[in-house]
Amino acid sequence: MCTVRDLVKTYSEGRGGTSLVRANDGIDLEVRRGEIFGILGPNGAGKSTLVRQLTGLLRPDAGSVEVLGHDLVRHPERASRLIGYLGQQSTALDDLTVALAAETTGRLRGLRARDARAERDQILAELGLEDLAGRPLRTLSGGQRRLACVAATLVGERPVLVLDEPTTGMDPVARRAVWSAVDRRRAERGATVLLVTHNVIEAESVLDRVAVIDRGRVIACDTPAGLKSLVDQEVRVDLVWRDEPPRQVPEIAAMEEQAVCSGRHWTLRLPPDRARAVVAAVTGGPAFAALDDFTLTTPSLEDVYLRLGGRGEGLVRQ
Amino acid sequence: MSAVPETVVRYDRDEAAPERPQPAPLAPGARLLPALAAVYRAQLSRARVARMPLLFVATFQSVGIMVMMRGVVDAGDGEAARSVVAGSSVLVVAFVALNLLAQYFGVLRASGGLDHYATLPVPPAAVVLGAAAAYASFTVPGTVVTAATGSLLFGLSLSHLWVLVAVIPLAGAALAGLGAALGLLAPRQELATLFGQLGMSAALLLGVLPASNLPEPVRWLRDLLPSSYGVDAFARTFDSHPDWAVVLVDLGVCAAVGVVSLTLATWAYRRAASR
């Protein structure tokens, strides 16, 4: 359905474009029809560069992009007639009211005036935006503005949706509205959704499959459950110390060598029996006195990401 | 739903190879005029939100210049009075259509806002012409107010003010085209703003002062500025019996510059939108 082969995109950076940065370094993807497919990675991993090539905004240096049988490297102008794209910026819509932003976008997707108005009304209702319909986007909160941009993206149906971090800044109600709207398009109309995210919880709950991207490469691609089975022999222990960790306790000193330490916050990924020993060690004696908080969790996609060699910065859990 | 294509999909030879599934039908693109109308309407609505204070500034600036010039230029039907009134009126067009549109496209380009249009099946000309037409429309109230106030202030005849019906759209097309091209071609947003401001300053300095008082090299510069032809066309109509043929020639220059600059702006948009 959507096939990406060996995609390479290099930017020049620095003064006079002296140093070259490989934003995409040979990316392969195969997205199936009707799938909600995620692209997960921290900021700067090359996710947006990838989707900008899928939507015809950037021309790849090498590689192929085929969507629904169309070669989008040779015919980038076809992308807008196949794909509904939600980018990260809303500057073009900021001064418009929510209703006019949705209606105008529909008109520019080739809808007739009457159809654009009908779809606008239907989608504003679907996303619970009716009360904000007359407000300019500029005056809305970040999450509301994002929701209005999602509405504009959905007016004028397309078989493929490419959404670049659609729920940034949204409250849980708005997130749910977006996910049910996306799911409805998939279930009722067979739409395929490509979703860029750096939110691991979102990735686990809404995606059918996910490609994990780091430094411009796909380092893993599977269902969220499949990826998590890579680390299901481990649990994650997070420790927060009140002040200085009690290094005089031998168990704690040994722990520090295995932990990912970020100030007072330590993270350990361990087999369950070792995790039990750690919990026992920190919940007794001088260690417990120095402990502010601890949590024991099953692994998330973030742990998968780290296990696969990702840098582990810039992913969010909320 | 209109996802059903109105046009027949053309298959390339390699795509029609037997083992490959047929390419999906493409949704129809937006046609030029409906898309232009949609962009125009959306841009016009922005005036209510973002542009209103700036439109007042444009008008106050021009009225202020006329009041100031009234101190050194006598009222009555002289060349100087005509230049001041016509120059100040067209200055409103330069402020909004050249300066503000250059800034708008500069910001849109720098912030990634062009992506929105670039990922919609909309003809580039619709985006550029729609925005240019809207910005030219923003200038109507300010230009009319300035022209009427100036005519009263300097005791000029109001009988041919209707010529603004032609001056505003034609000077508007020329200046908005230049503004859009500057905004889209400037490598950085700050430069777009700078060029827009410089263009407006040139329209101010070279439009308001009577051409016959300017030194020769400055007059050449004035001839290069498209707004000058709008100023001249308007200034000539303060005659009780204007030479309409010359007025038409001046307006024709505006129209020609408009066509060229809007074509350039459309090309610049295409270039900026597909990097």
Contact A95 B46 (CB under 8 A): yes
Average pLDDT over residues B92-110: 92
- Sorted by sequence, the CB contacts under 8 Å of residue A74 that are 6+ apart come out as none
pLDDT of residue A235: 87
| A56-64 average pLDDT score | 93
Interface contacts (A, B; CB < 8 Å): 137
What span, in angstroms and rounded, lies between the C-alpha atoms of B108 and A144? 21
Interface test mutation site (partner B, options A51, A91, A93, max chain B beta carbons within 10 A): A91
The 10 Å Cβ neighbour count of residue B81 is: 25
Poorest-confidence range of A290-304, B54-68, B117-131? A290-304
- Residues on chain A touching B29 (C-beta within 8 angstroms): 80-81, 110
A159·B112 Cβ contact <8 A: no
Nearest to B119 among A55, A111, A157 (CB): A55
The model scores a pTM over 0.80:
yes
CB A235 within 8 A of CB A275: yes
> Which two three-digit tokens encode residue A276?
């039990």
Distance CA B153, CA B76 (A): 9
| Mean of all residue pLDDT scores within chain A | 89
What are the sequence ranges of the domains in chain A?
2-224, 233-298
Give the closest residue to A150 by CA, choosing from A67, A110, A90.
Answer: A90
Hey, of A81, A111, A120, which one would you mutate to test binding to chain B, going by the most B CBs within 10 A of its CB? Answer: A81
Question: Which chain B positions have a beta carbon within 8 Å of A56's beta carbon?
Answer: 118-119, 274
The string over A105-137, giving b where at least 16 C-beta atoms fall within 10 Å of a residue's C-beta and e elsewhere, is: bbbbbbbeeebbbbbbbebbebbebeebbebbb
Q: Do A107 and B34 touch (CB under 8 A)?
A: yes
Instruction: Render pLDDT for A109-146 as a digit per residue (tens, 0 to 9).
Output: 999 999 999 999 999 999 999 999 999 999 999 999 99
CA distance linking residue A252 with residue A212, whole number of Å: 33
Taking only the tens place, the pLDDT of each residue in A65-95 is 999 999 999 999 999 999 999 998 888 999 8
d(CA A241, CA A218): 36
Q: CA-nearest residue of chain A to B17?
A: A69
- Looking at this protein, which amino acid is placed at residue A60? P
Spatial distance between the Cα atoms of B93 and A252, rounded to a whole number of angstroms: 74
How is residue A37 written in tokens? Answer: 């497919």
Going from N- to C-terminal start, the domains of chain B cover 26-273
Mean of the pLDDT values across residues B14-30? Answer: 71
Structure confidence at residue A311 (pLDDT): 65
Place of tokens 């934003």: A23
- Contact criterion met (CB below 8 Å) for A121 and A196: no
Which CATH number does A2-224 carry?
Answer: 3.40.50.300
Q: How are beta strands A2-13 and A160-164 bridged, if at all?
A: unpaired
Closest-CA distance, A105 to chain B, in angstroms, reads: 8
Mapping DSSP onto H, E and C, the string for A87-154 reads CCCCCCCCCCEHHHHHHHHHHHCCCCHHHHHHHHHHHHHHCCCHHHCCCEHHHCCHHHHHHHHHHHHH
pLDDT of A250 strictly over 50: yes
Chain B residues whose CB is inside 8 A of the A133 CB are none
Owner of token pair 């929701």: A147
More confident site: B15 or B222: B222
Environment class of A12 (CB within 10 Å of its CB; exposed 0-12, middle 13-18, buried 19+): exposed
Of B41, B49, B274, the CB nearest to A136: B49
CB-based contact A109 B30, cutoff 8 Å: yes
B121-148 per-position pLDDT tens digit: 999 999 999 999 999 998 999 999 999 9
